[in-house]
Structure 1
Amino acid sequence: MKMGVLGSVAGKRSSLEPDYRVEVQDGDIELRVYGKLLLASTVVPGGYGDASGLAFRRLAGFIFGRNTGQEKISMTAPVLQRQEGVNISMTAPVLQEKAGDAWRMSFIMPGMYTMETVPRPLDDGIVLEELPPRRVAVLRYTGLHSVRNVEKRTKLLRAWLENEGYRAVSEPRVASYNPPWTIPALRRNEIHIDIER
């Protein structure tokens, strides 16, 4: 994992980020190759804003010591979110149960942990899961993570993928790199879609 500098209204802070290799750069769009990632995830029903707050608090409790080892786990960036219960195309190699109107939020575990060594959450609403290595199309932007902004950026990224001959094999994920008190113009946000050619 590499260190990333995150700007906030209170100054700059560092947070671990997963390693990746950039294959293509086109303005605000990158095609990245990520290795395997270990996630702590939770699904919360409700709208984007309400679900985000509850999910974040639940996952923060886990990394701040509400786990079997009472171990503090370093905060990493980005925080990932995706909508649950959306329709997935027949070509997507993703298994997902419909969860209704809900959002899944995930914290990426620091690279020192494996599925065998990471402390187990005490909250039954948190699951540990591994993402396999994959290619990801990413569109970076600043501003708020409103549903409108997410939908607008997702549409732009999907249009670029279609124009360049790539196929989406996952639903979009929202990636947040900054704490919520960061001035919107200084926030680093991304839309992630797993792809293949």
Structure 2
Amino acid sequence: MGTVFGKVDVETPKFEVLQTTQDYEIRNYSPSIIAEVTYDPSELRGNRDGGFTILANYIGVLGQPQNKKPEKIAMTAPVITKTADDTSEKIAMTAPVITQGNGGSEKKMVTMQFVLPGKYKRIEEVPAPMDERVVIGEEGERKYGVVRFSGVASDEVVEERVERLKKSLERDGFKVVGKFLLARYNPPWTLPVFRTNEIMLPVE
């Protein structure tokens, strides 16, 4: 899944770069199959990235895969996190895992996703999870405005870069049509200066 020096040695999602500017790229992503888990971080000792262990157990990163075949599923990158809190958008994670929050004013739920390897073309081909919290889904073709940065993707850094990217996209005539994703390509032991992170905003 990567080294302390940031080398990404796993499969990453396929996309086509439609436009490149000084501030961002516009990318069109191919359809993919994802495994996701939605959880309340407070129930996982306040760990917003606690869903990583659940998904890693499902694909077999941490030992025997917890799926009904059982079949080891290769890790991919990035890990993507997304939030769906109405008042603020805050994020978490690394190498493709996707996380999104969809809570109300009291609970801030988080959804984390792993993009499964490209060999899985249909949901029916994917080993069924043993853990009912793991949901297998399908992402269709989609377009994002993307900005890449290194270092630690803290809440403050992410919020600032999301706002900057949104302003740049809207300035250039793009309509932002959803909440941002934080894509992190490296494990926690990667030195911050070598980490690769991306902010992704869906656009029309």
Task: Tell me which interval the TM-score lies in, with the shorter structure as reference length.
Answer: 0.7 to 0.9
CA deviations 1:21-59 (Å, max 9, x no partner) are 001112351100011111101112137x7121x111011
Structure having the higher strand fraction is 1
CA deviations 1:131-151 (Å, max 9, x no partner) are 110111111001112111110
Provide the rounded CA distance (Å) in 2 between the counterparts of 1:125 and 1:168. 30
Gaps of 5+ in 1: 1-5, 89-95
- Report what 1:192 is aligned to: 200
Contact 1:154/1:191, CA 8 A, preserved across alignment: yes
**Aligned letter for 2:77?**
A
**Aligned letter for 2:59?**
I
CA deviations 1:104-153 (Å, max 9, x no partner) are 11000011112110001111111111111011111100111211111011
The equivalences for 1:1-197 within 5 A come to: 8-9=3-4, 12-27=7-22, 29-46=24-41, 50-52=47-49, 54-64=50-60, 65-86=65-86, 98=103, 100-113=107-120, 114-196=122-204
Percentage of identical aligned residues: 35
Q: Does the C-alpha gap of structure 1 residues 117 and 151 become closer, same or farther in structure 2, counting only changes over 3 Å?
A: same
TM-score scaled to structure 2, two decimals?
Answer: 0.82
Please, which moves more after superposition, 6-15 or 120-129? Answer: 6-15
- Report what 1:91 is aligned to: none
Provide the rounded CA distance (Å) in 2 between the counterparts of 1:34 and 1:118. 20
Aligned pairs, number: 182
Provide the rounded CA distance (Å) in 1 between the counterparts of 2:123 and 2:174. 31
Superposition CA RMSD, Å:
2.1
Q: 1:84 offset after TM fit, Å? A: 3.1
TM-score scaled to structure 1, two decimals?
Answer: 0.85
